Amino acid sequence: MNNQIEETNHYVQSLLLNERTGHDWYHIERVTKLATYIAEREGADLFIVKMAALLHDLADDKVAYDEETGLKQVVDWLTSQNVSADEQQKILSIITTISFKGGNGSPVESLEAKVVQDADRLDALGAIGIARTFVYAGAKGDPMYDPTIDVRDEMTKEEYRHGKSSAIHHFYEKLLKLRGRMNTKTGKQLAEERHAQLEQFLETFFQEWNVKF
């Protein structure tokens, strides 16, 4: 079993080491560590949680050619590692349901899915979350801020991915909402400090943007 995790670790690392969209290997490594920490406190199945955390971004349409191709790659990998059909089904259902997608994803069900989703969301908060947002916006060609763009509250997945936006807008459209959407007690606790970091950052950002002394 540990061997399957170890092998998956190497496999994902080799695939994502050069990813530049915020889904790089180090994101996966942090999410897997966070998920393991939460799983231990919440009594979730560690094998399922670690495997799902390691594989969670491979089917994302920002990483894979498309979601279907990405999922097939994950299934082929799990089969090659002799992961049982029952475990494969649990891992796949986590990967397919946790993405935020503008707030339109269906709610997660298993404890293991809740744990992995919390871990992924925590990595979008705090100092790391701030840094990832600016890297993502830069890669997409968005400005760091544009005061002429409205903040969108409700949006379709299409609008979320392709509408006009800025890094600062992303804080209001997604990041500040995550604290209220954490699933587990441990996840909620960890989100508090990271949420406060976002608010602190925004306060300073606008002070400096408006050149206030």
The site for ligand ADP (CB under 6 A) is made up of 22, 60, 99-101, 124, 129, 132-133, 136-137, 142, 165, 167, 170, 174-175
Task: Determine if 118 is a binding residue for Ni ion (CB under 5 A).
Answer: no
Nearer of residues 45 and 60 to ligand ADP, judged by Cβ = 60
Question: Of the ranges 85-93, 119-127, 147-155, 172-180, which one interacts with Ni ion (CB under 5 A)?
Answer: 119-127
Tokens found for residue 147 = 């005061």
Nearer of residues 118 and 142 to ligand ADP, judged by Cβ = 142
Q: Pick one of 57, 87, 118, 173: the residue that binds Ni ion (CB under 5 A).
A: 57
Residue 14: helix, strand or coil by DSSP?
helix
Among 107, 104, 119, residue whose Cα is nearest residue 194: 119
CB of 161 to ligand ADP, least distance (A): 7
* Residue 32 touches which member of Ni ion, ligand ADP, none, C-beta under 5-8 Å by kind: none
Residues in binding contact with Ni ion, number by CB under 5 A: 2
Nearer of residues 107 and 204 to Ni ion, judged by Cβ = 107
Running DSSP on this structure, what letter comes out for residue 171? Answer: I
Task: Determine if 120 is a binding residue for Ni ion (CB under 5 A).
Answer: yes
Among 152, 124, 120, residue whose Cα is nearest residue 136: 124
Nearer of residues 165 and 183 to ligand ADP, judged by Cβ = 165
Scored b (16 or more CB within 10 A) or e, 36-72 reads: bbbbeebebbbbbbbbbbbbbbbbbeebbeeeeebbe
Binding residues vs Ni ion (CB under 5 A): 57, 120
